[in-house]
Amino acid sequence: MSFIFLLNENVNKDKNISFFAQFLLSKSLNRHKMEPFVQVFFAIDKDGTETITIDELKKYVADNNLDEMMVTKWKSLFDAKNTGKITFSTFCEVLGLSPAQAVAMKTQHQQSASAKLHPDVVVIYEQLPLDKQIAISNKAIEILTSSKKLDEKDQAVQLKQWLDNTYGKAWHVVIVKGSFWSSYSHSANKCFIFRVRDVSYLIWRTPDEEITST
């Protein structure tokens, strides 16, 4: 999977929602690529009723500093009859998700709800299971707050060594402060970009085809 990313210093943890416009133009997204949008629905549906209101959607957009056009797009797609509500069944139908896929995503969300990232972690972009997000970010925080006071270079080396030993070789770690550009390819489900305080972490694994060809 190829990925191009620009981070602004004030980026919000839900910045990946900006990819929604690209999603709307595609008719061939697989389930994996739909998951971030289903996760947004669950983030809004805090009471678990499988129904969100347009007012709740507006609040979510405002609270997370997202483009207000998201409300217009969602209303057009998921509330064509202007009921003021969006149901999960309609949401999945429009996305082209089968009932079985929708149930699987809901179950996965419920099972992972109790597992949470450290409160200092702000997710910028993720294509990685939550349990690995938690483990990796916790390790990054452990290294960052170590009494050894390592610089960014040594922190990156330690984190990469841990990743290679824990999840297999060919991981990459970039640690930066401030804004940055990045362009790279990564294996499916093996990319995680997050921030801890004023430090940003770009973590991904070399694409599988590159690993097998070496």
The per-residue pLDDT for range 176-203, each reduced to its tens digit, is 987 766 666 657 778 999 999 889 999 9
Confidence band for 64, pLDDT divided at 50, 70 and 90: confident
Confidence band for 9, pLDDT divided at 50, 70 and 90: very low
CATH fold for the domain made of 121-206:
Protein Inhibitor Of Neuronal Nitric Oxide Synthase (3.30.740)
Q: Over pLDDT 90: what percentage of the chain?
A: 40
- The CATH classification number of 17-114 equals 1.10.238.10
Range 95-111 average pLDDT: 75
Radius of gyration of the chain (CA): 18
Q: Across-strand partners of 200?
A: 176, 195
Position 89 pLDDT exceeds 50: yes
Cβ atoms of 202 and 173 closer than 8 Å: yes
Q: What integer pLDDT is reported at residue 125 of this predicted model?
A: 87
| Average pLDDT along the chain | 78
Q: What integer pLDDT is reported at residue 29 of this predicted model?
A: 46
Cβ atoms of 193 and 201 closer than 8 Å: yes
Q: What integer pLDDT is reported at residue 112 of this predicted model?
A: 63
Confidence band for 2, pLDDT divided at 50, 70 and 90: very low
Per-domain boundaries in the chain = 17-114, 121-206
pTM (predicted TM-score): 0.48
Confidence band for 141, pLDDT divided at 50, 70 and 90: very high
User: What is d(CA 153, CA 157) in angstroms, rounded to the nearest whole number?
Assistant: 6
The DSSP-derived string for 147-179 is TT---HHHHHHHHHHHHHHHH-S-EEEEEEES-
Instruction: Among 1-10, 52-61, 205-214, name the one with the lowest average pLDDT.
Output: 1-10
Q: Across-strand partners of 87?
A: 51
Confidence band for 8, pLDDT divided at 50, 70 and 90: very low
Contacts of 189 (CB under 8 A, 6+ apart): 32, 127, 128, 129
Instruction: Among 111-125, 139-153, 158-172, name the one with the lowest average pLDDT.
Output: 111-125
